[in-house]
Amino acid sequence: MLPQAALQDLERALGPRAVLARAQDLTLYEYDGSIEKSKPECVVFPRTTSEVVAAVKTARAYDLPLVGRGAGTGLSGGVIPRAGGLMIAFSRMNKILEIDYENECAVVQPGVVNLDITRAVQGNGYYYAPDPSSQKACTIGGNVAENAGGPHTLIYGVTTNHVLGIEAVLPDGSVIRVGGKEFDRPGYDLVGLLTGSEGTMALVTQVIVRLMRSPEAVKTLLAIYERPEDAAATVGDLTARAVTPAAVEMLDGVMLRMVEEATHAGYPLDAGAVLLIELEGLRETVEEQLALVNEVCLANRAREVRAAQSEEERALLWKGRKNAFGAVGRVSPTYYVQDGVVPRTRIADTLQHIYKVSEKYDLQISNIFHAGDGNMHPIILFDPDDPEQTARTKKAGEEILKYCVQAGGAITGEHGVGMEKNELMPLLFTDDSLETMERLMRIFNPDGRLNPGKLLPTGKGCMEIRLPPAHYRSTEW
């Protein structure tokens, strides 16, 4: 239980309207976009770095576990408070503090919504490149924690390639600032270390993000196939022909039908798969690539290749892709999204394995994913009120991830490890490597109070990396 004295200290430091501790309020913060749940004992809403420091120092004084939360759109359980304790929600730290066009960057608080950065600068010919499918809702702090990706990171890179500096609060209440507006600072790359550390090292309170100039020309294509394996083969052939699109997204037949029925984006209902391909750059370069991409698609048995003829048509095609998870929700209110990565040359056989897993566990699985970088997103539909079906769903997801590793890939491409995949980390790393990661984490988070039970194995798998028993307050997980 949260000590009453701790609650009083938090209310004094942040104000009573910035502190939630009633059970009915806490229910709203027991989940994210994954399928697990666990309640915090208290949630606070700071507006400034100094208020974050006050909350962190209170947690330290009462030996409370800590977890930071952005918009709660994460898909790996990264913000689920496995050990209860104090949750610091950053939704009120949502200001763009500075836009610096001369240095092509912006300084933002962690609660700023991803897409709002682009909206703020697009009138001046700039945008923020990382674009998760949840970019209308997800926040920069969460993106930094999970090293989020998105369709257009194929050519521009993931979040870590667009973060120049970070201000963060450590578990003892001290504030650090790493990186800056200038490139290539000397010393260790602490910005790169903190980006993707999943909230296990520090609580990010400010971020300097890179801004990019809007491309001169953009072309969006929809390539339509009878068979998913032909669409998959196209991706490898594009790479072999030295074409790197800004984005290559794939939807299989099951998924595209759900999407089309919900959004009417113009996807053919009778296709086996489609590729959504986007080209960006200088006008002449895009026109050259357009002809080459069309040639490669047709050579791989695309039955048709359509080019969007207007910005409205292009936006509609992307609406189908970006709103896909909502479209799935019309068919099944609950689904499990996986995030394995395989080499581009293994996409076709990985899809075949996913279809076999679907049959083996008698579950409907659809696929929508970043084909350009082999980041697979099988979506498993299930009924959470059926414990046996839920168990089959988890087993199916684990089997798919294990296949991805066997194919030369990894267990996550952009969703993070969180509590969903931490027991699978030994599939990728030796005991010595995992122990080194733990030692590094302990430098920042020595007593393990910051986001406990995430990223590293907890002892249920092959490793014995675990937290002090006193920190496991919740039994819901």
How far apart CA 474 and CA 453 sit, in angstroms, is 11
Report if residue 411 sits inside a domain. no
Q: Are residues 178 and 158 in the same domain?
A: yes
List the Cα angle 54/196/131 in 5-degree steps. 105
pLDDT tens-place string over residues 379-404: 999 999 999 999 999 999 999 999 99
Report if residue 10 sits inside a domain. yes
Q: How much is the pLDDT for 464?
A: 40
User: What is the pLDDT averaged over residues 237-265?
Assistant: 94
- List, in order, residues 6 or more apart from 93 with CB less than 8 Å away: 46, 47, 48, 52, 109, 110, 111, 141, 205
The alpha carbon of 469 is separated from its chain's Cα centroid by a whole number of angstroms, namely 30
Where does a domain end: 285, 304, 323?
323
Q: Which of 286, 290, 249, 263 is nearest to 149 (CA)?
A: 249
Inter-residue contact 166 to 188 (CB < 8 Å): no
List the Cα angle 163/166/172 in 5-degree steps. 150
Inter-residue contact 271 to 386 (CB < 8 Å): no
Q: Are residues 239 and 319 in the same domain?
A: yes
The alpha carbon of 340 is separated from its chain's Cα centroid by a whole number of angstroms, namely 12
What CATH number is associated with residue 124? 3.30.465.10
Q: Are residues 10 and 37 in the same domain?
A: yes
Range of the domain at 10: 4-89
DSSP designation for 215: P
Strands (E), 317-452: 335-337, 365-370, 378-381
**How confident is residue 326, by pLDDT bands cut at 50, 70 and 90?**
confident
pLDDT tens-place string over residues 25-39: 999 999 999 999 999
Inter-residue contact 396 to 357 (CB < 8 Å): yes
Copy the structure tokens of residue 411.
């267990």
- List, in order, residues 6 or more apart from 32 with CB less than 8 Å away: 72, 73, 74, 75, 77, 78, 79, 80
Where does a domain end: 278, 296, 323?
323
- Based on the structure, what is the number of domains in the chain? 5
Q: Are residues 100 and 182 in the same domain?
A: yes
DSSP per-residue codes, 138-162: -BHHHHHHHT---TTHHHH--GGGG
Q: Are residues 18 and 85 in the same domain?
A: yes
Q: How much is the pLDDT for 471?
A: 40
Report if residue 259 sits inside a domain. yes
Report if residue 446 sits inside a domain. yes
Q: Which of 184-193, 227-236, 310-319, 463-472 has the lowest mean pLDDT?
A: 463-472
What CATH number is associated with residue 401? 3.30.70
Q: Are residues 221 and 209 in the same domain?
A: no
Whether the model pTM is above 0.85: yes
Residue 102's SS3 state is coil
Q: Are residues 269 and 319 in the same domain?
A: yes
Q: Are residues 221 and 170 in the same domain?
A: no
Report if residue 476 sits inside a domain. no
Q: Which residue has the tokens 């918009």?
A: 71
Where does a domain end: 89, 111, 131?
89
